[in-house]
Structure 1
Amino acid sequence: MKTKSIIASFIVLVFFSSCDRPDCQNTNSIFDLNGLETTVYKQELVKEMDRVGKENLTYWLSDYTEQNGQEFITVNIQGDGLCAKGLLQVNDWTNIEGIKKTKGVSYIGTELRGLIFDIFTSGESIDFIYKSTESIVD
C-alpha cells in the first residue's frame, strides 16, 4: 500500500515538473475583455506578436477543440510582456499527430518549439492557420 502511494506521488511530481511553462501575467485589457475568436482580440494579438517578433515568442499547448467540423489548438503565447492565447486552425496534423489522436489530453502544457503558422486577413476576419512545428517538448 505504501509503495503505491510513493509511486503515485512520483508520477504526480514528474507530471508537474514536465510542464515548465514560465508564469506570465497578462496586462493587456483587450485580451481580458474579449474572446479568442473575436476580431478585436485577434487584431491585438497580431499587433503584439509583431511588436515582440515571432522569433522571440514561445508557444505552449493549452487545448484542442472541434468547431463546425474544423479542428483547432489553443496555444499560450509568451514573450517580452506578451501573455495571451491564440486559436490556430489545424488542417495538416504533420508532426503533431499525437495531439490529434488524444485530442490534446496528454499534451496540454507541452511546448511547441519552432511553431509556424500563417495569419490570413480578409476584411475584418483574421485566421491563424497551423503550418508546422519543429518539435513537441514535454
Structure 2
Amino acid sequence: MKAILKIHLVFALISVLSCNDGKETDSVSARPVKDYNTDLVSRVRSDAGSLTYILNGYGKRGEKEYLNVTVSGSNLNSETFILVQNWNKLEDVKRTEGLGYRGAELKGLKLAVIDDALATFAYKDLDKVLD
C-alpha cells in the first residue's frame, strides 16, 4: 500500500511539472499561473484565519520535501505545494511520508511566501494536525 501511494504521488508531481504545452497555466482555473499564485497568496495573507488546509500528500524533489495541500475557504478551493524545511509539529507526517495523514486538517497553519520552482509557500508553524 505504501508503494502504491508513493507511486501515485510521484506520478502526480510529474504530471503537474510536465503537463505544460508551452503556456504557463493552471489546469483547474485555466488562468496564467502567475495570476493564480498572486490571487492565492493574497487570500492566504488576508484570510489566513478563515482558511482550511487539508493534507493531500508528501513529495520529495531532489533534496527538497513538500506537502501537497488543498486550501479552501469562501469562494476558494485550491491545491498548492508547501516547501517544508522545519518539520516542527510535523515529525510524524515526515516519518510516514504522509501516509495515514491524507485528509488531515493542518489547523492554524502559518506560511511564508517564497519563490521556489515548485512551491509558492514555505511551512513556518501550525497549531496541530487533526486527522
* TM-score between the two structures when normalised by the length of structure 1: 0.66
- 1:121/1:127 contact within 8 Å kept: yes
Q: Which runs of 5+ in 1 are unaligned?
A: 1-28
Moved >4 Å (runs of 4+): none
Residue identity opposite 2:129 in structure 1 = I
| Separation of aligned partners in 2, 1:46 and 1:31 | 18
Give yes or no for the alignment of 1:47 onto 2:47: no
Aligned-residue offset at 1:133 = 1.1
User: Which protein has the bigger helix share?
Assistant: 1
The superposition leaves residues 15-54 of structure 1 with CA deviations (integer Å, 9 ceiling, x where unpaired) of xxxxxxxxxxxxxx956156xxx54442231134356x11
1:107 is paired with a residue whose SS is coil
Residue in structure 2 matching 1:97, options 91, 112, 116: 91
- 1:71/1:89 contact within 8 Å kept: yes
Give yes or no for the alignment of 1:59 onto 2:71: no
Equivalent residue, structure 2, for 1:32: 28
The superposition leaves residues 94-136 of structure 1 with CA deviations (integer Å, 9 ceiling, x where unpaired) of 10101101100110000010101101359xx973110111101
Residue identity opposite 2:87 in structure 1 = W
Q: Which runs of 5+ in 2 are unaligned?
A: 1-24
- 2:81/2:119 contact within 8 Å kept: no
- 1:30/1:44 contact within 8 Å kept: no
| Separation of aligned partners in 1, 2:100 and 2:72 | 21
Equivalent residue, structure 1, for 2:20: none
Equivalent residue, structure 1, for 2:103: 109
Structure with the greater alpha carbon radius of gyration: 1
1:106 is paired with a residue whose SS is coil
- 1:120/1:127 contact within 8 Å kept: yes
Aligned-residue RMSD, C-alpha: 2.7
